[in-house]
Amino acid sequence: IKTLATVWTACSLFRALLSASLQLARIQTDSIVEMLRELYPDLRFEIVAMSTTGDKILDTALSKIGEKSLFTKELENALERNEVDLVVHSLKDLPTSLPPGFTIGAVCKRENPLDAVVFHPKNCGKTLSLLPEKSVIGTSSLRRAAQLKKKFPQLEFRDIRGNLNTRLKKLDEKEDFSAIILAAAGLKRMGWENRIGQLLSPEDCLYAVGQGALAVEVRAKDQEILNMVSALHDVDTVLCCIAERAFMKRLEGGCSVPVAVNTMLKDGQLYLTGAVYSLDGSDSLKETMQTSVNYPQRNEDGPNDDVQHVGITAKNVPGQAQEAAENLGVELASLLLSKGAKHILSVARQLNDAR
């Protein structure tokens, strides 16, 4: 389910479409609208719901569905027809290359990007390492399964689909799963932090590219809307996510292969850890690189003001810092490719397709 917000002024009509599913969609929509209201108190917002193809396919693992465009195509069609003016997504749902005419006009401050374990009530107080042998863990993410299979070989991992409400209901009301793995950010936004039994550190499980961040997609040529939403950019999140998305793009990764990251920005240095895995986690490559992103913002108008970096337009973030972040992601991916990442991902993709 995707959510549409319509914005009025005395002389202008803006429509904004925000993406996620069911209750979480509304919460994410409301958070964006509230930020825009604080910045532009004279604007009014109307929220409307829209479903996408990806939202409707609930009996198939995400890795088997295909391209992420299943979650975005209908929304971008509405943008293209000027039926809406902006779309809010979970950034991890957006492909690293957007269709021509679209851009990510804002990347908001990131929520906790880590993965979380939610346990069946009978396992309350336990951790993954304390679960009985052969306990079944639910996740539709190849990335999570690959890492956790290697770390917890005594556990079994099975697909589980549906929105957050549906997956928690499957966990609580049946005996099929001992625990499920979810993004901590979604649980927090839903107000369900108390269900988190264990946070998985990057040592346990690197997270997905863009996980925890909300993105606002707009028409690339619509300067009025682009200028309006650009105030929502969080500089640190933008730079981390540019590096992550560049890493993913260079690897030609997606939800059908296990690719994972961890980023940290400290004292002007951006650190990116990236990894690729076989489906069972037995084969993997993992490296860390860093670069300086400590560049001043230039107040120069010019033809490159709206340059995109892996689909993101961030005029209020220093261009040199964005370039450095993108180059970091590309260089780290190239390093892994030189060590055999292409073979690992190719085999993973073939095995996933054959499942």
Sign, CA dihedral 342-344-347-350, equals: negative
Q: How far apart are CA 196 and CA 54, in angstroms?
A: 26
Q: How far apart are CA 102 and CA 313, in angstroms?
A: 10
- 85, 93, 115, 222: the active-site residue: 93
Helix, strand or coil, per DSSP, at residue 49: strand
Q: Are strands 86-90 and 13-19 parallel, antiparallel or unpaired?
A: parallel
Q: How many CB atoms lie within 10 A of CB 77?
A: 12
Q: Give yes or no for a contact between 224 and 291, defined as CB atoms under 8 angstroms apart.
A: no
Annotation marks residue 93 as catalytic: yes
Q: What are residue 275's DSSP bridge partners?
A: 260, 286
Helix, strand or coil, per DSSP, at residue 215: strand
Q: Give yes or no for a contact between 355 and 275, defined as CB atoms under 8 angstroms apart.
A: no
Residues in the chain, how many?
355
Q: How far apart are CA 355 and CA 344, in angstroms?
A: 17
Active site residues: 93
